[in-house]
Structure 1
Amino acid sequence: MRGWLDDTRTSYDTVALSYAELLRDALAGEPFQRGILALFAELVRAQDAGPVADIGCGPGRITAHLHRAGLDAFGIDLSPVMVDVARRDHPGLRFEVGSMTSLDLADGYLTGLLAWFSLIHVPDDEVPTVLAEFRRVLRPGGVVLLGFHAGDGSRRVTEGYGGRMNVHVHRRPPGRIAAWLRAAGFAVEAEMVHHPAPNVEGGFVFAHR
């Protein structure tokens, strides 16, 4: 296993329970994020019915939100403990352990794919592999939404969400993410930056296969 994948899995196994508690109700105070997710749901519904994957779903809070929005949503996460927590908190939904670098999904299986702040630990040289997988599992016209920390540069994080971690967090401008998506064969529809607090930027890019 690639070293960064192993570090990411172990880190989120360690903080899964505290992470779930800390972020359980976070969307309630994030109207911009709820609006972005609502737009994603509308774009997916316009492609007719079909499964939607929340890649890097963590404890399943966004998967559940998409389900409540009327989507056939399920979650995939690298961390087995995160998946256990997601199944505990959302017993009616489907969650699987898996890696975004090699998804156990058939070609063209998905109508929509969400990676909600889960690309932030992927090194630059691994991003093309991930985006190629995203394109493979989406059907023609399928919608992808990527959410990430906007900006530039990387830093190593050794503590977070109430526990010890060992991950790198990568910040990227939306234009760079959009360029990578185009290189992977996607048509980019929108690039957005949200400023929820001073010196904090969230990036969002919509595209379709």
Structure 2
Amino acid sequence: MNDDDWLADTRTSYDTVATSYADLLRNFLAETPYERAMLALFAELVHAGGGGPVADVGCGPGRITAHLHGLGIDAFGVDLSPGMIEVARRDHPGLRFEVGSMTDLDLADASVAGLVAWYSLIHIPDDQVGSVFAHFRRVLRPGGLLLLSFHVGDETRLKTQGYGGHPMKVHVHCRQIGKVAGWLRGSGFAVEAQMTLTSAESRLGGVIFGRRQS
């Protein structure tokens, strides 16, 4: 499968489920205190570093973007799916959302103080993660903070249905936390903290805090 194939499948899948996805996940953060704590810590560290814009990459319907905004962060969202961006703009009309791909991130160099990829790296093939992390590093300011969350495991599965029973065609890549941390270090990030947790977000989720090295 070439790049255009899996990106097109992912875009179409999330366009199809956008409304159902937003409805199903709308209150997830109320059920996930550890994730809320991770986001609060991220916000605290961004503030401590002087603040600045924060990109929520793979923002979906904008729930994490909006949560960060509620924590005083100048957050904006980017997502591959125009359908998701339409829902995000509808549900959070005061915030900025734009269509874009983390595989070719259309943000200026050193333009953001922080970047969040909240369970959005899971559809990126292994051989493209390094390129994605290079984009993350490029758009972050030196010393900028990165927060990743993802499903932990050793399998890749094809998801053909989800979020209200709608058809989908996306590959879900589950990875060990040490593997992702190693990729980050190799891409010019310092790994400051990592943990695994179980919640409504994931049967086993990984969370990594990284910082762009100068």
Amino acid at match of 1:179: G
The corresponding residue for 2:39 is: 37
- Measured after TM superposition, the shift of residue 113 of structure 1 is 0.1
* Displaced runs of 4 or more, over 4 A: none
Give aligned pairs, total: 208
Q: CA RMSD in A?
A: 1.1
Structure 1 residue ranges without an equivalent (≥5) = none
Find the aligned partners of 1:50 and 1:183 in 2 and give their Cα distance: 26
Structure 2 residue ranges without an equivalent (≥5) = none
2:189 equivalent to 1:175: no
Equivalent residues in 2 for 1:181-196 (5 A)?
181-196=184-199
Normalised TM-score (structure 1): 0.97
**CA shift digits 1:65-84 (9 cap, x unpaired):** 00000000000000001000
Normalised TM-score (structure 2): 0.95
Equivalent residues in 2 for 1:2-151 (5 A)?
2-151=4-153
Amino acid at match of 2:211: H
Find the aligned partners of 1:46 and 1:143 in 2 and give their Cα distance: 11
- Measured after TM superposition, the shift of residue 104 of structure 1 is 1.1
Find the aligned partners of 1:188 and 1:37 in 2 and give their Cα distance: 17
Find the aligned partners of 2:163 and 2:145 in 1 and give their Cα distance: 31
Find the aligned partners of 1:153 and 1:29 in 2 and give their Cα distance: 26
Structure 1 residue matching 2:122: 3-state secondary structure: coil
**CA shift digits 1:129-172 (9 cap, x unpaired):** 10000000000000000000011110000001011100010001
